[in-house]
Amino acid sequence: MKQVHFFNRHVDVALDLLNSHTAGKPFAPYLKSFFKEKKKYGGRDRKRISNLCYAWFRLGYSIPLDRREQIIGAYFILHSDRFVHPADVNSKFSEDWDQLDLKQRLHFMGVDVKDIFPLTGFVDFSDLEQFLLDQLEVRPTYFRKIHPGALNFQEDVDLIETDGTSIGSYSGQALNTLRTKGHIEIQDRSSQDVMRRLLPELQEPIWDCCAASGGKSLYILDETPREVFASDVRSSILRSLKERSKRHKSRLFIGQANVIKVDKVKFRRQDKTIMVDGDFFQTILVDAPCSGSGTWSRNPEFKPFLTQQDLDRYVQRQREIVKNAASFLKVGGKLIYLTCSVYQNENQAQLDFFESCGLQVETTGYHYGHLNQSDSMFYSVLVKK
Ligand SMILES: C[S@@+](CC[C@H](N)C(=O)[O-])C[C@H]1O[C@@H](n2cnc3c(N)ncnc32)[C@H](O)[C@@H]1O
């Protein structure tokens, strides 16, 4: 009974955390600062409270009960708890709960699988139900790119995979330590796989026009001898790009630009400033702002909150970005459009509009990252006519 008492206390903490967290903001830093303040929670408490919260983000919100009951139901659907059996917490759970599979547990809790993901009508995968269940079952993993030349480091990390160029662990913290030591770079395995596939499409000069802190730019700089022009609308994120790209400063130009509005962009390199206008680029990479729905098995805290209006706003912004970016492209040059979304509105359904901007679709497809514990992405190579 003591264990049930502790369990219920943890549910109360999870409920408070979920009620006070701002919807749409990353949850991990919020949780981290909560535990930093509340020293009384040990490792086991933290793990359970965290699992209770994330179970709610993964599917709890779709259980037709109040939020406290949603948290408990979602937790027992997704986790076996060594210390409490669901039937000890609530008699509605059957004694043979552990024998039920995922679909039976969802059914028992009154969940329609289609409700565990927002706007499922727009998801572009043919086996929708399998995709939705994979989302729940896949254990979230962190993948990072190993710096060339740092292949032989020895660290005591809970590794799940390393193939020589990328490294994975269930512990984001362990990987942060490796990053601080300069061995690895933040980059999901799907981004690496997609970039590797697209490398032959790149011709100089290259503009990464939604570069953020430069994940894709750094990949190109690491893997090719090319010069890269990187920009983003947010100047704050460009500071982080500058920090991360020190080893490439002779080949990287950085600028700040809202791609929707500009007709010229000023780029700086350590020794040089270039003002770019007109059809200057041979390759433009648009890693577009999007719903992020392809990353939700890793970041489920964004899943319960996406609305149709949000999706429409992303679609509109993507169109405006591609349309104006294309005016910087030479005839015969390539615009590579990427999203980490699984919604057709942001992907295939955009292609007709892109063609109306004078771009011709050459290749397009999905990278099904959820099958190997990484993000799902959409890519399309468009050629300027
Ligand atoms: C998906 S993220 C890019 C991730 C990055 N390429 C990487 O590999 O880490 C999209 C980026 O687009 C930027 N963005 C959004 N609207 C923009 C605009 N109008 N012009 C330029 N950048 C924009 C956002 O600030 C965000 O950093």
- Domain co-membership, 179 together with 198: no
For the segment 131-151, what is each residue's pLDDT rounded down to a tens digit? Answer: 899 888 766 566 666 665 554
Encoding tokens for residue 301? 């805290």
Residue with tokens 């509605």: 92
Average pLDDT over residues 325-347: 97
> At residue 371, does pLDDT exceed 80?
no
| Residue 135: predicted pLDDT | 83
Q: Is the dihedral of CA 175, 179, 184, 187 positive or negative?
A: positive
- How far, in Å, from the CA of 75 to the mean position of ligand 1? 34
Residue 179 domain-assigned?
yes
- How far, in Å, from the CA of 212 to the mean position of ligand 1? 5
| Residue 140: predicted pLDDT | 57
The runs of H, that is alpha helices, within 59-171 are 67-78, 86-89, 102-108, 128-137
Average pLDDT over residues 207-231: 94
- Domain co-membership, 292 together with 325: yes
- Domain co-membership, 295 together with 378: yes
Residue 316 neighbours by CB under 8 Å, 6+ apart: none
- Domain co-membership, 265 together with 359: yes
- Domain co-membership, 149 together with 195: no
Average pLDDT over residues 198-223: 93
- How far, in Å, from the CA of 324 to the mean position of ligand 1? 15
| Residue 297: predicted pLDDT | 87
Q: Which of 186, 232, 284 best tests ligand 1's pocket when mutated (most atoms within 8 Å of CB)?
A: 232
Share of residues in the chain with pLDDT > 90 (%): 75
Confirm or reject: Cβ of 232 under 6 Å from ligand 1: yes
Average pLDDT over residues 117-123: 96
Confirm or reject: Cβ of 186 under 6 Å from ligand 1: no
**Among residues 134, 156, 186, which one ends one of the domains?**
186
Owning domain of residue 64: 2-116
Kindly give the number of the ligand 1 atom that is closest to the alpha carbon of 340: 1
Going from the C-alpha of 297 to that of each of 67, 234, 247, 305, the distances in angstroms are: 21, 26, 33, 15
| Residue 311: predicted pLDDT | 98
Residue 128 domain-assigned?
no
Instruction: Reduce the DSSP state of residue 102 to 3 states and report it.
Output: helix
Kindly give the number of the ligand 1 atom that is closest to the alpha carbon of 186: 9
The residue nearest atom 4 of ligand 1, judged by CA position, is 212
The domain total for the chain is 3
The residue nearest atom 15 of ligand 1, judged by CA position, is 289
Q: What is the CATH number of the domain that holds 217?
A: 3.40.50.150
| Residue 151: predicted pLDDT | 46
Residue 228 domain-assigned?
yes
- Domain co-membership, 230 together with 343: yes
Looking at the DSSP assignment, which residues form a beta bridge with residue 359?
A: 384
Helix (H), strand (E) at residue 207: strand 206-208
- How far, in Å, from the CA of 285 to the mean position of ligand 1? 11
- Domain co-membership, 180 together with 256: no
CA 194 centroid distance within chain: 14
Kindly give the number of the ligand 1 atom that is closest to the alpha carbon of 320: 19
| Residue 182: predicted pLDDT | 64
For the segment 150-207, what is each residue's pLDDT rounded down to a tens digit? Answer: 545 555 555 555 555 666 666 666 666 666 666 666 677 788 889 989 999 999 999 9
Confirm or reject: Cβ of 258 under 6 Å from ligand 1: yes
- Domain co-membership, 227 together with 341: yes
Residue 122 domain-assigned?
no
> At residue 305, does pLDDT exceed 50?
yes
Mean pLDDT lowest for which of 44-48, 206-210, 246-250, 359-363?
246-250
Q: Which of 187, 207, 233, 337 best tests ligand 1's pocket when mutated (most atoms within 8 Å of CB)?
A: 233
Residue 127 domain-assigned?
no
